[in-house]
């Protein structure tokens, strides 16, 4: 048993190294000179590029009708890595050492402390969440398991309960656009290569690693944004403080990891890297950085369309603000570099992207025209915009106050600063998210307002750091003799109070989450046990109905049957039956809530439902009193019943 666990661990980490580090690491070396990045940057960017490379490789293999097996996938990635390695070796000339970030020993120690404390706090919060059990994660792992078992990319469909001519039935499969393929390839590739099952520790641990890398990606982005600022390292370190240990649990951090919010977490890793390449293009104006900026943008849209759409809005805001605040230089840059934009490499990328979308894999949200549902007037509850208090609660008072101050400083300093495009970029990033989450009717974007606001934590962390460093520089480095004399006492004291307030606010925020125990591993295990038993006893003709409201980890029941995304049939949250959006049938409600009613009896007969799984404390009573339901399974949490007639 111990030997099996050790070999499984070895296979898991070796798979992560192969799929999510090596190909991107060596591809960067094949394209850029080795001193183009520090080793730290090379590792982080290489990891993000590896995710994109692995996803695109799987899609190409599937399009070529090559089964997605351990050997086909591992050999393909190894071939890409080997070619990139030999190209990078052949192309190395002159100085082959990596560029250095040149932090002092004290700064280096501070960075290590911030990273370690972030990882420790997150790990402590997630200590009881390693066993997967959240709704989002269950849905993602279902499709990931479909890929692993069928060895091909699935068509996203589900079979819903419908009513026709007063007869209830399970309809034909219909297409859905709730999932983006990159979210599932992340899990399925690990399982295919390593052999680890989906009901295990690996999904949460893999998300934890991605979330940690996203924090480091924001750190290197801050360094690049302020490369011409003598205090760039201070800004980057403070950004790491704001996105790391101070708010290491609240969304979109460890809480998203525990919740299995896969697309957001991977995309939040890719967005800072995408912006990193765009800003390096504006700083150095070479086609290699623009090519990779476009490649990362493409990868983003194959990972999570909501984040991709938010990125598109932010980038459009960047172009608009650049033309407003920096009109002459911006359009002079476009004119000067038009030949670069029309170079064979960049044109080649767009040709590749068009061919890939049209012939290799078209994202489901395009084929199902899901994009049209988010453009236009707000139509759903929860999409109508946040109040200022809700926006503050989502992001925390500290980041709101200092982020807004940083935004004001950035706007004020744009025309005078040597880092115009950087200030415009981070301001556009934060400003676009603010508009979409607070005033969706103005911009005509129909997106979940709370989820959209979470994206602001990244730019607000950078702006908060920029505000504090700028304020400190103006206070302590003023040329005015009176201010210099006063600052030695007053400003030092004020700065200490400021830092103390920020630290206390951040620590209390983390403590608030740590005090709550939102994870129930024992209940999750009971759901697994009941699902395993029923799947072993039920035939292909038997139909199961269960409950989403009171069964912990109910979305994982489908992983034990693998019949359909909507199997078993389930009672959803009650408001979904009355909001005129989510549900237009009541059978799934009646069969659990009132199995003795005539309407429910008809639903059982029409749909052929003969097994029911419910919480033993909340919904067992109505089945116990009926003579035509026989208890066939029971544990500390759940009861299963068989309908005899």
Mean pLDDT value across the chain: 87
Same domain, 342 and 264: yes
Does residue 85 lie within any of the structural domains? no
> What are the DSSP calls for 157-215, one per residue?
EE--EEEETTEEEE---EE--S--HHHHHHHHHHHHHH---SSSSHHHHHHHHHHHHHH
Q: How far apart are CA 429 and CA 311, in angstroms?
A: 8
Lowest mean pLDDT among 101-110, 333-342, 372-381, 634-643: 372-381
Q: Which residue, 584, 594, 590, is CA-closest to 570?
A: 590
Q: What is the mean pLDDT of residues 106-130?
A: 92
* pLDDT at 149 exceeding the cut of 50: yes
Residues 631 and 612 occupy one common structural domain: yes
219-233, 283-297, 329-343, 428-442: lowest mean pLDDT where?
Answer: 329-343
3 state SS of 465: helix
Question: What pLDDT score does 587 carry?
Answer: 94
Q: Same structural domain for residues 597 and 503? A: no
- Structural domain of 378: 101-129+201-514
For residues 21 and 28, give the distance between their C-alpha atoms in angstroms, rounded to a whole number: 11
- The position carrying tokens 């390839």 is 185
| Residue 135: inside a domain | no
Name the pLDDT band for 34 (thresholds 50, 70, 90): confident
pLDDT at 94: 45
Burial of residue 73 (number of CB atoms within 10 Å: 0-12, 13-18, 19+): buried
Q: Residue 352 is encoded by which pair of tokens?
A: 């590749």
Residues 510 and 561 in one domain: no
Residue 51 lies in a domain: no
Q: Is the pLDDT of residue 96 over 60?
A: no
> Percent of the chain at pLDDT above 90?
56
What number is the average pLDDT over the span 263-277? 95
Are residues 361 and 453 both part of a single domain?
yes
**pLDDT band (50, 70, 90) for residue 417:** confident
Query: Does 186 reside within a domain?
Result: no
Q: What is the CA radius of gyration of the chain?
A: 27
**Across residues 59-85, what is the average pLDDT?**
96
* Total number of domains constituting the chain: 2
Whether residues 418 and 561 share a domain: the answer is no
Residue where one domain finishes, among candidates 514, 530, 555 = 514
Mean pLDDT, to the nearest integer, of 251-261?
Answer: 90
Q: Is residue 319 part of a domain?
A: yes
Least confident of 204-208, 296-300, 343-347: 343-347
- Max mean pLDDT among 245-249, 348-352, 574-578 falls in 348-352
- What's the rounded Cα separation, in Å, for the pair 173 and 153? 16
- The more confident residue out of 136 and 368 is 136
Q: What is the pLDDT of residue 400?
A: 87
Instruction: Tell me the sheet residues that pair with 643.
Output: 629
Return the H-helix or E-strand segment holding 81.
helix 70-91
Residue 214 has a CB neighbour count (10 Å cut-off) of: 26
Of 50, 70, 77, which is closest to residue 192 (Cα–Cα)?
A: 70
For residue 478, the model assigns a pLDDT of 52
Same domain, 496 and 540: no
- pLDDT score for 500: 67
In a domain, 452, yes or no: yes
H-type alpha helices, 226-368 = 232-243, 254-259, 262-284, 287-301, 305-325, 327-336, 338-341, 344-355, 364-367
Q: Are residues 211 and 313 in the same domain?
A: yes
Q: Do residues 415 and 564 both lie within one domain?
A: no
Domain ends where: 464, 493, 514?
Answer: 514
Contacts of 32 (CB under 8 A, 6+ apart): 288
Q: Is the dihedral of CA 411, 412, 414, 419 positive or negative?
A: negative
Whether 233 and 108 have beta carbons less than 8 Å apart is answered as no
Judge if 460 and 505 occupy the same domain: yes
Per-residue pLDDT, 99: 62
Q: Is residue 393 part of a domain?
A: yes
Q: pLDDT tens digits, residue range 210-235?
A: 999 999 999 999 999 999 888 999 99
pLDDT score for 207: 95
Each residue of 584-626: pLDDT tens digit?
889 999 999 999 999 999 999 999 999 999 999 999 999 999 9
CA distances from 301 to 180, 295, 296, 363 (A): 8, 10, 9, 8
Give the residue from 514, 549, 571 where a domain finishes: 514
Q: What are phi and psi of 67, to 5 degrees?
A: -55, 140
Question: pLDDT (tens digit, 9 = 90+) per residue, 471-496?
Answer: 877 665 555 555 555 555 555 565 56
pLDDT recorded at residue 222 = 96
Q: Which residues pair with 38 in a beta bridge?
A: 99
The H or E element that residue 180 is part of is none
pLDDT of residue 498: 65
Give the span between the Cα atoms of 41 and 273, in whole angstroms: 10
Task: For residue 546, name the pLDDT band (cuts at 50, 70, 90).
Answer: very high
pLDDT of residue 250: 85
pLDDT category of residue 581 using cuts at 50, 70 and 90: confident
Together in a domain, 220 and 117? yes
Q: Specify whether the CB–CB gap between 247 and 511 falls below 8 A.
A: no
Q: What dihedral angle (degrees, nearest 10) is formed by the CA atoms of 483, 485, 486, 490? A: 130
pTM, 2 dp: 0.91
Any domain includes 62: no
Asked if residue 357 and residue 234 are part of one domain, the reply reads yes
Q: Quick check: 147 pLDDT over 90?
A: yes
Percent of the chain, pLDDT > 70?
Answer: 87
pLDDT tens for residues 42-57? 999 999 999 999 999 9
Please return the burial class of 368, using the count of CB atoms within 10 Å of its CB with bins 0-12, 13-18 and 19+: middle
pLDDT at 471: 81
Q: Which residue has the higher pLDDT, 412 or 505?
A: 412
Q: How far apart are CA 128 and CA 374, in angstroms?
A: 36
């Amino acid at each position: 048993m111990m030997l099996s666990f050790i070999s499984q661990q070895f296979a898991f980490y070796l798979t992560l190294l192969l799929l999510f580090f090596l190909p991107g690491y060596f591809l960067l070396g094949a394209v850029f000179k080795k001193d183009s990045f520090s080793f730290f940057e090379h590792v982080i960017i290489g990891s993000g590029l590896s995710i994109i490379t692995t996803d695109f490789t799987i899609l190409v293999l599937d399009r070529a009708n090559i089964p997605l097996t351990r050997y086909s996938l591992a050999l393909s990635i190894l071939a890409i890595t080997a070619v990139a390695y030999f190209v990078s070796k052949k192309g190395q000339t002159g100085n082959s050492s990596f560029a250095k970030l040149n932090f002092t020993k004290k700064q280096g120690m501070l960075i290590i402390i911030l990273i370690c404390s972030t990882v420790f706090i997150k790990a402590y919060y997630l200590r009881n969440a390693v066993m997967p059990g959240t709704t989002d994660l269950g849905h993602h792992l279902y499709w990931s398991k479909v890929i692993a078992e069928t060895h091909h990319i699935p068509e996203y469909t589900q079979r819903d309960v419908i009513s026709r001519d007063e007869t209830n039935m399970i309809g034909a499969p219909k297409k859905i656009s709730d999932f983006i393929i990159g979210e599932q390839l992340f899990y399925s590739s690990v399982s295919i290569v390593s052999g680890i099952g989906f009901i295990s520790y690996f999904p949460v641990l893999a998300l934890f690693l991605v979330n940690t890398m996203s924090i480091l990606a924001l750190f290197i982005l801050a360094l690049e944004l302020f490369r011409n600022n003598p205090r760039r390292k201070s800004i980057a370190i403070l950004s790491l403080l704001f996105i790391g240990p101070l708010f290491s649990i609240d969304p979109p951090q460890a809480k998203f990891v525990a919740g299995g919010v896969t697309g957001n977490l991977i995309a939040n890793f890719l967005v800072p890297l995408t912006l990193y390449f765009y800003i390096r293009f504006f700083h150095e104006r070479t086609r290699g950085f623009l090519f990779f900026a476009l490649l990362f943008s493409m990868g983003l849209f194959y990972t999570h369309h909501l984040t991709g759409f938010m990125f598109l809005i932010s980038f459009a805001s960047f172009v608009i603000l650049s033309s407003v605040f920096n009109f002459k230089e911006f359009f002079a840059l476009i004119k000067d570099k038009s030949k670069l934009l029309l170079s064979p490499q960049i044109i080649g990328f767009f040709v590749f992207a068009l061919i890939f979308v049209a012939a290799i894999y078209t994202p489901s949200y395009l084929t199902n025209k899901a994009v049209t549902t988010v453009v236009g007037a707000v139509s759903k509850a929860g999409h109508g915009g946040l109040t200022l208090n809700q926006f503050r609660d989502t992001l925390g008072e500290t980041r709101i106050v200092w982020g807004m101050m940083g935004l004001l400083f950035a706007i004020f300093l744009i025309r005078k600063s040597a880092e115009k495009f950087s200030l415009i970029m981070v301001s556009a990033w934060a400003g676009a998210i603010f508009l979409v989450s607070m005033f969706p009717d103005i911009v005509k974007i129909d997106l979940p307002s709370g989820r959209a606001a979470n994206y602001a934590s990244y730019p607000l962390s950078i702006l908060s750091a920029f505000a504090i460093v700028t304020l400190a520089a103006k206070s302590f480095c003023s040329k005015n003799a009176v201010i210099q004399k006063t600052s030695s006492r007053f400003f030092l004291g004020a700065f200490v109070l400021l830092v103390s307030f920020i630290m206390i606010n951040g620590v209390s925020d983390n403590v608030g989450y740590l005090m709550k125990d939102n994870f129930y591993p024992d209940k999750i295990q009971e759901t697994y046990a009941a699902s395993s038993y029923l799947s072993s006893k039920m035939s292909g003709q038997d139909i199961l109905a269960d409950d989403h409201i009171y069964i912990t980890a109910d979305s994982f029941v489908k992983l034990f049957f693998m019949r359909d995304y909507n199997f078993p049939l389930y009672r959803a949250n009650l408001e979904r039956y009355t909001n005129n959006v989510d549900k237009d049938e009541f059978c799934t409600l009646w069969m659990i809530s009132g199995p003795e009613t005539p309407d429910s009896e008809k639903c059982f007969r029409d749909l052929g439902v003969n097994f029911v799984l419910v919480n033993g404390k909340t919904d067992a009573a109505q089945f116990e009193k009926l003579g035509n339901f026989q208890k066939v399974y029971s544990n500390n949490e759940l009861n299963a019943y068989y309908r005899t007639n």
